Structure 1
Amino acid sequence: MTADGEVHVAFTSVRAGNLARHVGEQQRDAVASRRRGLEAHMGVGSGTLRFLDQVHSALVLDAAEHPADSAHAPTGDAWISRGGAEPLAVMVADCLPVLLVGQGQGSAPLITGAAHAGREGLIGGVLENTVTAMREHGAESVQAWVGPGVCGSCYEVPAAMHEELGTVRPALASQTTWGTPALDLRSEAEEILRELGAGIAELAGCTLEDETLYSHRRAPGEGRFAGLVWRAR
């Protein structure tokens, strides 16, 4: 998928293999090889694709301040890149990967962003923080792509959590297809993005139902797929 003819957004599948070092077979060389293969497919330099040490926070990093380091990823759950200079990745396996492209006016550079938006991140403000950071660097308009995650008909949670969160965040309240309490992360993410004035391109896909995607709930520890945003060269 291409945004504005210059910036690409994409989501991998199990065909690209596990891209995370902390789950799966724990073979760092195999993960490194897959990441290099992905970079080649994207057409970006080897070792330039940025990965985060994700901790379900609302922390947003400026990729320009964190040089690519294949051994030590910086801790955070969202990126921005001024001018789209750095190719960005976020890894997921039920949480939502949200990719963003911001445009400034006149000669103002575009801003790209990528956020790991699970339950804790959404509640903590990871999307608000990402869009705010993009606007602080000149983005006047923001377009978001909400990628595959566990859907509101599958994300079963305890009744107490459903009641607590659904009361203050109605968009989260849902029910599984088998009639138990659930949360709808996509609905909440879209509600937040709309309130922020961002355009939304929704992409279908439930990680629990679709075996071409990794799912922590369906197969814990098997792997992570990635949301990617990068500028064409």
Structure 2
Amino acid sequence: MSDTQVLPGVHPVALGDGVHAFFTSAAGGVSPAPWSTAAAADGSDAGHGLNLGLNVSDDPARVAVNRARVARHLGAPVAYATQVHGATVLPLGGAERELWSAPEPPGTAGEGDALVTTEGRLGLGVLVADCVPVLLADPVARVVAVAHAGRKGVLSGVVLRALDAMVERGADLARVRAAVGPAVCGLCYEVPAAMRDEVAAAVPQTFATTRAGTPGLDLPAGVVAQLAERGVAAVRVDRCTLEEEALFSHRRASVSGTTTGRQAGIIALI
């Protein structure tokens, strides 16, 4: 893919030589409200939302345009899964690169909440709007992966399963680099006390109290802790999706009774 495009609001992360990784924002696309935000559209809802999700009632044709813009920013096709809050890891290779390079790429790589590949110039995308997007790379073994870690994903260990899949393909955990992207923070993510206790019993670092003094969950902290258990250090992008209007937030949209878009974490071997 030779024609590149620069997207606004992208948050790049350095995960090693030969790896291109970044997190998108809500800006830079063609979707109107409610799949855009005021901040993303520079004070208007003129259709600048970069919604990358197909399951939020946006026009699939607009989503295709938005996804194509992300692929041009990356300089390679990007594959996405149908995420179901589980722990399935989908391996992708040369055949999938051909599919996602087609003029009309498939809408999904299948049902799963993590993707792994050793294929060069094949982007992996993880879609979020409050859950934790995780990017993983061993730049020496040339293995990359993404994982979608919501509350259920943290409990099921989806990030750990992604690491297992990387090791099966030659990665060394001592070399793996990780980026934990924007997600709802523990000061904002209010949950019932029983739910907090259930998750914290499995991953104690998720235990949180919100600004209002109510039970909360810090899922990014939980993911960082799970990575640390395997000896993997993580760069944490400390941005809260609920607080930042430049990012999509399912919880913020739910308060107003509407839907919202999905941003993504993107990674590829280049």
Q: TM exceeds 0.5?
A: yes
Task: Report the counterpart of residue 20 of structure 2 in structure 1.
Answer: 8
Q: Deviations over 1:46-95 (max 9, x none)?
A: xx210110000100010127443424431100011114442100100000
2: CA distance, partners of 1:155 / 1:72: 29
* Aligned-residue offset at 1:27: 0.5
CA–CA distance in 1 between the matches of 2:166 and 2:155? 19
Q: Distance in 2 between matches of 1:117 and 1:93?
A: 11
- Which residue number in structure 2 is paired with residue 60 of structure 1? 89
On the 8 A contact 2:151/2:199 being kept in 1, the answer is no
The answer to whether residue 227 in structure 2 is matched with residue 189 in structure 1 is no
Match of 1:88 among 120, 124, 131: 124
C-alpha contact 1:84 1:111 (8 A) present in aligned 2: no
Q: For CA contacts below 8 A with separation 6 or more, give which structure has more relative contact order.
A: 1
Residue 38 of structure 1 is matched in structure 2 by 70
Match of residue 180, structure 2, among 138, 141, 146: 146
Which runs of structure 2 are paired with 1:157-196 in the superposition (5 Å)? 157-196=191-230
Amino acid of the structure 1 residue aligned with 2:51: N
RMSD over aligned Cα atoms: 1.5
Contact 1:103 1:138 survives alignment (8 Å): no
Q: Which residue of 14, 23, 32 maps to 2:56?
A: 23
Is 2:232 the counterpart of 1:198?
yes
Q: Distance in 2 between matches of 1:139 and 1:164?
A: 32
Q: Does 1:126 align with 2:158?
A: yes
Percent identity over the alignment? 40
Mark the runs of 5 or more structure 2 residues left unpaired by the alignment.
1-11, 29-49
Change (3 A) 1:169 1:5: closer
8 Å contact from structure 1 (residues 84, 112) kept in 2: no
Alignment match, 2:269:
231
**TM-score using structure 1 length:** 0.91
Q: What secondary structure sits across from 2:235 in the alignment?
A: strand
> Shift of residue 102 of structure 1?
1.4
Q: In the comparison of the two structures, how many residue pairs are matched?
A: 224
Unaligned runs of 5+ in 1: none
C-alpha separation in 2, matches of 1:190 and 1:113? 16
Equivalent position amino acid for 1:18 in 2 = N
